[in-house]
Structure 1
Amino acid sequence: MTQTRFTVLDETQRHPDLAEQIDRILHRVAPTVKEISDLPLPEEVRFRLLTPKAWRDEARKSHHRTLARDIADLELTSQEIDAVRAGLRIMGFVPVLVWPVVLGSTLAAADGRRETIIAPRALHHGGLLVDEPALHQMVAHELVHQVQADGRSGAVWTTFFPQKRGITGRGASAVLEGHADWADHQVTTRLFGAPADHRQSPKSWRYRTHDALPGIRRLGPSRAAYEQGSRLITRAVAAGGTDLVNQVWKDAVFLPTEEEIADPDAWVRRIERGYLGA
């Protein structure tokens, strides 16, 4: 069995204690994440602590890497490519607006591996530095995202052209965030006796100001993606266990439709039919 290598890099050179704390949390939550998800851990799990500026730069680079991968993999017209590039130029300001309210972000790195980028100042603004259960929740949540990516075995869900990749954008978001939300609640309940909720952590004035900006929550996964997705996963696990849920990582055809997001039982029945070969 391959041993997972955990790497936590303090690229700010100002938060060695936080890097050590996150490393300890990773080692603490990883066995539970593996057990409850019934998915293997990646060979390497990488977390990077960045300054806000470096975090914003990495977020922008990630968008451009997504487009480059789409261009390499898909048959796109010049008009389609130009439209996305124009959108990226227009949306270049987004990381400036969102960084104080993003506690962690897992993305494809320049070397092709998954990594989680964190701005420690965002953890300060979000109240996680004084809320141990919530910090565990965030680390577990982002670790699950790395596990999900590894479980997809190269299938690409992060794309500007979901239909060309045979996925539904909303369905992918609901499954990714709902599964991670469900898992982090399971992990923190085991560790602390009740599910942690980072939304209850004490927020700074800057966090509250950015969080109140009109439309700010439309710039990332919606609250509905977490809440509806968590209900979706909870229902599927109750009906058929993690084996049923984990079919979605093997084949994107099992991603929920708009109708199935609102009707988890219909989604469960469809996966069961495919899983059992009916």
Structure 2
Amino acid sequence: MTQTRFTVLDDTRGHPDLAGQISAILHRVAPTVKEITDLPLPSEGVRFRLLRPKAWREEYRQNLHRVLARDIADLDLSPKQIDAARTGLKITGFVPALVWPMVLASTQKAADGQCETVIAPRALHHGGALADERVLLQVVAHELVHHLQDEARSGTVWKTFFPQQREILAPPRSVSTVLEGHATWADRQVTTRLFGTSADHRQARKSWRYRLHSSLPGIGRLGPSREGYEQGAQLIGHATAAHGVGLVNRIWKDLSLLPTTDEIADPQAWTLRIKQGSLHA
């Protein structure tokens, strides 16, 4: 039985039952997530926070500003680079208003530096997660995996506006493919073990608002694609089936092992490179 502290804060002050449900799920799935991924649970605990949609959208924006602030503090950036990044944030400031009903949960660094999952209960409603216990458990397990990934990275920065300066030589989609693919692979393993078959939140009944937002032109380009999740899950699934989770877990501390574009489509080639310990050319 894990000793990790699980905290679920209800900043909406209107969903105490949901907060309790999520807390119970965390305690239920944590041992299985830990076993399947062979990653340690966070030493400082796991925190989930329920927010109203407006507060969730603001937190989404503030997280990006914190990412940029960290880049500015850590990297030797020119004023031109900083201005361009700030302009980009202003231009994309409308994104949270478009995507929030479709984002069931998001895990990121909070203002106090702790890894945190933020959830708008209304988004869970729009995505059908509140009407299906299996789907809600899948969502919670998926986000918990992100907490374990963050712990395993031990401070290595993966989210940045300047990947080359962070020595992330892989293509931009590589990071999301690995992070989301690994979490997707794991949540399917967890739900299969608990329910006999894997849960799939995409099959849950969606609200009219969810369908409206998902039909907006270009909406699919504002985040990781469904194809990216699937390719990532296949990538991780192939590596673990062939060589075990220990091989995959090498990537958390070695950015050079992130897959290239060709390797995302060829899991065997990526697995072979990790096994050999070779670096990007």
Q: What's the TM-score, normalizing by structure 1? A: 0.97
SS in 1 for 2:122: helix
- Hey, what's the Cα distance between the residues in 1 that align with 2:224 and 2:111? 23
Trace 1:1-278 onto structure 2 (pairs within 5 A).
Answer: 3-43=3-43, 44-167=45-168, 168=170, 169-274=172-277
Q: Percent of counterpart pairs with the same letter?
A: 69
Structure 1 residues 183-230: Cα deviation after superposition (integer angstroms, max 9, x where no partner)? 000000011110000001000000000011111121111222201100
Following superposition, which runs of at least 4 residues in structure 1 exceed 3 angstroms of deviation?
Answer: none
On the 8 A contact 2:182/2:232 being kept in 1, the answer is yes
User: How far 1:2 sits from its partner (Å)?
Assistant: 8.0
- In the aligned structure 1, how far is the partner of 2:199 from the partner of 2:150? 24
Q: Secondary structure at the match of 1:165?
A: coil
- Counterpart AA for 1:243: G
CA distance in 2, matches of 1:148, 1:225: 18
- In structure 2, how many angstroms separate the alpha carbons of the residues matched to 1:7 and 1:42? 12
TM-score, normalization by structure 2: 0.96
User: Please, what is the CA RMSD of the aligned residues?
Assistant: 1.2
Structure 2, unmatched stretches of 5+, are none
How far apart, in 1, do the equivalents of 2:191 and 2:156 lie?
Answer: 29
Q: Distance in 2 between matches of 1:127 and 1:69?
A: 35
SS at match of 1:76: coil
1:213-250 residue CA offsets vs partner (Å, 9 max, x unmatched): 11112111122220110010000001110000000012
Structure 2 residue matching 1:33: 3-state secondary structure: helix
Cα deviation, residue 166, structure 1: 1.6
- Matched positions, count: 275
State the one-letter code of the partner of 1:51: R
Output the CA distance in 1 between the equivalents of 2:214 and 2:31: 33
User: Shift of the alpha carbon at 1:175?
Assistant: 0.6
Query: Could you tell me how far apart the structure 1 residues matched to 2:14 and 2:72 are?
Result: 38
Distance 1:228 1:166 in 2: 24
Query: How many angstroms does 1:3 deviate by?
Result: 2.2
Measure the CA separation in 2 of the matches of 1:201 and 1:224. Answer: 18
